[in-house]
Amino acid sequence: MTSAFKAACIQNCAVPDVDRNIDTTVRLTREAAAAGAQLIALPEYFSGLETRDGKIFPASFAEADHPVIPAFAAEAKSLGAWILLGSLGVKAADGRINNRGYLIDPSGQISARYNKIHMFDVDLDADKVYRESATIAPGNEAVVADTAWGGLGLSICYDLRFAHLYRSLAKSGARILAVPAAFTKVTGEAHWHVLNRARAIENGAYVIAPCQHGTLDGGAQCYGHSLIIDPWGRVLADGGDEEGFIIASLDMAEVDSARQRVPALTHDRPFALSEPAQAAE
C-alpha cells in the first residue's frame, strides 16, 4: 500500500447545460492531474443542479444513460487517477432521484457507489426552505471503498452533520473521509470549516471536501471553500469562492500518528441514558 500521494478537489458552479459542466470539470480534472493529483474529487451535483420552491432538481439520468460516467471513466483511465464523482442525479425506481456518488478507479471501472443517506429538509429562514426528500430518495447503506491508500469513507453534503456516520466509517477502515457538497452559503459561512475539521479530528482521518461555489439556477447560493484537512485538523488547502482546484499531499503515516497520539477510536464505551431526575414534592 502506498503511503503518500497528492489529492485534489475540483470546485465549480454548475450551470443548466450538462455538457458545459462536463467540459469545465474535465478541464479542471486534467489540470489537477497535471499538478500531480492521483485522487481527484468533484462536488455534489457538479454536472447540474437547480432549486425551485425549496425543492432540489439535479440533472438526472438512468445510470446506464448518464453522460458523466463514461466521460470520467475515460479520464480516469487516460490520467491513471482515481476520480470521485461527488454525486450525480440518478433516476430511482420510485420516480424520485438518487443522490449518488461514484468512485472510478484508474482502469476506468466503477469501484464503489454511495447513495446519500441524510436528506436536507430544513427551514433556514422564511425565504430559504429546502425539502430534499421531496425529489430525492435517501440511501440506507454506508460505504467504505478500497483505494491504493486504504479505505475511503463516502458521504455527501448534509451527511456532514451526522458524526456517528463518520465514526462508523472510520471504525470500518476509512482513513480518508470524502465530503463532496453543494453546501449553502448561509450554513457554509457558519459551519463548513468547523464541521469538516471536527470530522477529521474525531476520527484521526484526512478529509477531502470539494464544494460547489456561486449562485445556481433557481437562486440558491453555494459556499465554495473546498477543503483538504489533515488528521490533526489542520486545513491544508482551501478553495475560496472561485472556480478552480486545490491540491495537497496526503501521507497515511499521519493517520497512524494521529490515532496513536489520541486513540479515541479505541475508547468508545457503551453507556445507558439515565432517567430524568424526579422533582422533589
User: What CA–CA distance (Å, rounded) separates 116 from 231?
Assistant: 24
Could you give the CA distance from residue 271 to residue 136 in angstroms, rounded to a whole number? 35
Coil, strand, or helix at residue 278? Answer: coil
Number of CB atoms found within 10 A of residue 265's CB: 14
Cα(163)–Cα(155) distance, integer angstroms: 11
Cα(95)–Cα(85) distance, integer angstroms:
22
Task: Give the amino acid at 29.
Answer: T
Task: List the beta strands (DSSP E) in 148-277.
Answer: 150-154, 174-178, 206-209, 213-215, 221-223, 227-229, 235-238, 244-251
> Which residue numbers are catalytic?
44, 116, 157
Please choose, from the candidates 209, 208, 202, the residue with its C-alpha nearest in 3D space to the C-alpha of residue 259. Answer: 202
Cell numbers found for residue 243: 472556480
Strand partners, 85: 102
Distance CA 30, CA 107 (A): 16
Question: Is residue 241 classed exposed, middle or buried when 0-12, 13-18 and 19+ CB atoms within 10 A define those classes?
Answer: middle
Residue type, 89: G
